[in-house]
Chain A
Amino acid sequence: MPKLVQAWLDIKVFSAPGVQNMESKGDTTVKTVSLQSSPGRGYKALAYFKRYWTLYLLLLLPMTYFIIFKYIPMHYILIAFKKYSIVQSVWEMPWAANNGFEYFIKAFNNKDFLNALRNTIMLNFLDLLCGFPAPIILALLLNELPFPRYKRVTQTIAYMPHFLSWIIIAGMAKQLLAPTTGLINNALDALGLGRVEFLNDPTYWVITYIFLGIWQSVGWNTIIYLAAIAGINPELYEAAEMDGAGRFRKMWHITLPGIRPTIVTLLILSLGRILGSEFDRPYALGNHMVNNVSNVISIFVYKYGIQGLQFSLATAVGLFQSVVCVIFLFAANALAKKFGERGVW
């Protein structure tokens, strides 16, 4: 490193006399000082800032970014409570009826919305149940593979489906799963098992939907877990091997605990998306036979809010989603902390 930078980085931050030991324990900093100094509140504050001012400097840029690009546009959320007019600014728009809750009431009175709400929760929950463990299992599986080249190849191929847009995947799925001409159904028929309406029947549709979702994302989601596994100290494995631990014991006692923080973080974040609704997947895979399960909140918003030009309604629904998600995030976070894990907050 250039000398100048080196010098700057080497700035000694403690010039206070008599500081002996520094111990950081969680939230508190214990400073053992000699009796020569008498630290007052102002002195402590000064020492604190001298020590940590660079951290605040580092945070300055990201905070500015958030304020400009996230918080300033955020005021538009108020249109959820107002009668929208495209040519007026948010402050000029008149308030909606019922103390501004007109559009929320409208949404909840709409049967389609309640149906969409139910579908969203159901599909997200199933996604979580089946789709959350899958990448973990796959990461563990890949970790067991002793042939490095093979492992690399598998990793690269496993994450390819993530790059296909849902329109493409849906096209392929229809080609494969169509009741009368699909390859899979033809094979099933030849085996005498009869044809299955994978995409036409509501129950099968949900199963297919979840399965395709897992297929598309499992390879991609293992990346984080593999990176986490890479950070586990290999000496632990060697020690376990010497103790005579088998494959599964190593997994249970070393790998899983090693990636536990990652798992918990991602679980909290996933729970915080319980009411989130992606658009592409249900839209591409859905059809008119299964609309009572395939209509999710994002499609409702698209039809009523965007195509129907009811902006306030769309924003109200979005706000509702956000609030519920934050509540779930908060709860999951608190729960994790109870179990001794570090939360997201």
Chain B
Amino acid sequence: MSMIKSRKTRFGDFIVAFLCFLLILVCLLPMLNVLARSLSSSEALIKNKVWLWPVGLNFEAYKMVLSDSKYTWSLVWTAILTVVGTCLSLFMTTICAYPLTYDNLKGRRLFNTIIIFTMYFNAGTIPMYLLLKDLNMLNKPVVLVVPYCLSVFNMIIMRSFFYNIPDSLRESAELDGAGPVRILVSIYLPMSTPVIATLALFYAVGRWNGFSDALMFVKEKKYYPIQLLLYNIINSMTKIEVATQEGFSPPGLSETLKAATVMFATVPILFVYPWLQKYFITGATLGAIKE
């Protein structure tokens, strides 16, 4: 963001503002629809009368979800997982990306190849299941944090950002006798707050929204992330083939609850970005001063 304050607001700015307004509409309205649905009565939903505001306002679904300790615990648990997972992921990503920025690192091509290869070749759930079973990690919280902690895509992004930091900084630090780790900690990291914030967001959202690993590898209900809990609810309502096969329909749960679960799972993570946004500015400032 530009630091210039004394800038007249020009006509072009209003066009930009208008376009952004349209964008807000297009993105916000669907969320409002889901919110409205979660606060409406079943009848209104059945009649398909809910668009942007609740019809037949009632809080039943939220009351039901919040009063059930199963969900509130799962929210807390998922938050813990997210924080721990994100920290671990950021740590791993950084120590992986940084050494690869040294062009004269011997074996750099080898490392690159090994890493990128894993982005494309993977054999699915069964071998992972077998591996985790042998490592005795099944059904333990650690299985929700470690197996997917390092994303190659994110590592490439971080490395790309590190490349942008001028080599001269590194060289002058080396001349001062600083070792690579010191250079990382005192030069690269402070200048990379935008990318660290970005990756923190990516990892956090990935962990918060993810449930397929818990689905296969964890059996204890108390370790279920919130999305998995909600997946079961939504699925038990919508499996018509069950009705055909088994001769009965799953127990009816209201449409309202379905919408409420979406709200429940989405809203907490939405607030992470605004909080992280302040880091997008700091890095630029530092960059300016250093030059």
Contact = CB atoms under 8 A, between A and B. Distances in A.
Contacts of A52: 102, 105, 180
A141 B96 CA distance: 33
Interface stretch (B69-77, B193-201, B243-251): B193-201
A62 B4 contact: no
Interface string A234-260: 110110010000010000000000000
Interface residues of B, number: 101
B58 interface: no
A326 B119 CA distance: 9
Given A227-B280, A230-B283, A172 B33 contact: yes
A309 interface: no
B283 A231 contact: yes
Nearest to A23: B171
B177 A14 contact: yes
Contacts of B1: 143, 148, 151, 230
Contact of A146 (B2, B104, B130, B149): B2
A172 B30 contact: yes
A59 B160 contact: no
A225 B178 CA distance: 32
A150 B20 contact: yes
A54 B30 contact: no
Contacts of B103: 24, 26-27
Nearest to B21: A154
Given A59-B99, A156-B273, A344 B262 contact: no
Contacts of B148: 69
A339 interface: no
B24 A157 contact: yes
A240 B105 CA distance: 38
B283 to A, nearest CB: 6
B113 to A, nearest CB: 7
Contacts of B26: 215
B120 A326 contact: yes
Given A144-B13, A164-B30, A154 B24 contact: yes
A157 B7 CA distance: 26
Interface in B38-62: 48, 51
B58 to A, nearest CB: 21
Interface string B188-231: 00000011011001000100010000000000000000000000
A66 B114 contact: yes
B92 A9 contact: no
Interface in A135-183: 138, 141-148, 150-165, 167-169, 172, 175, 183
A17 B116 CA distance: 40
A79 B126 CA distance: 12
Interface string B264-281: 001001100110010011
A194 B12 CA distance: 36
Contacts of B147: 69
Interface in B76-100: 92, 95-96, 98-100
Interface in B104-129: 104-106, 109, 111-124, 126-128
B127 A73 contact: yes
11 contacts: A9-B179, A9-B186, A58-B98, A58-B181, A66-B118, A69-B146, A145-B16, A163-B205, A319-B121, A322-B120, A345-B116
Pairs A-B, 10 closest by C-beta atoms: A76-B123, A9-B182, A76-B127, A73-B127, A62-B96, A227-B194, A55-B99, A70-B118, A58-B95, A322-B120
Given A141-B16, A146-B9, A150-B20, 8 more contacts: A52-B102, A68-B131, A152-B277, A156-B277, A158-B27, A230-B280, A233-B287, A342-B163
Interface of A: 9-14, 22-24, 26-29, 48, 51-52, 54-56, 58-59, 61-63, 65-66, 68-77, 79, 138, 141-148, 150-165, 167-169, 172, 175, 183, 215, 219, 223-224, 226-228, 230-235, 237-238, 241, 247, 261-262, 265, 269, 272, 311, 314-315, 318-319, 322, 325-326, 329, 342, 344-345
Interface of B: 1-4, 7, 9, 12-13, 16-17, 19-20, 23-24, 26-28, 30-31, 33-34, 48, 51, 92, 95-96, 98-100, 102-106, 109, 111-124, 126-128, 130-131, 135, 146-150, 153, 156-157, 160-161, 163-164, 167, 171, 174-175, 177-182, 185-186, 194-195, 197-198, 201, 205, 209, 234, 262, 266, 269-270, 273-274, 277, 280-281, 283-284, 287-288, 291
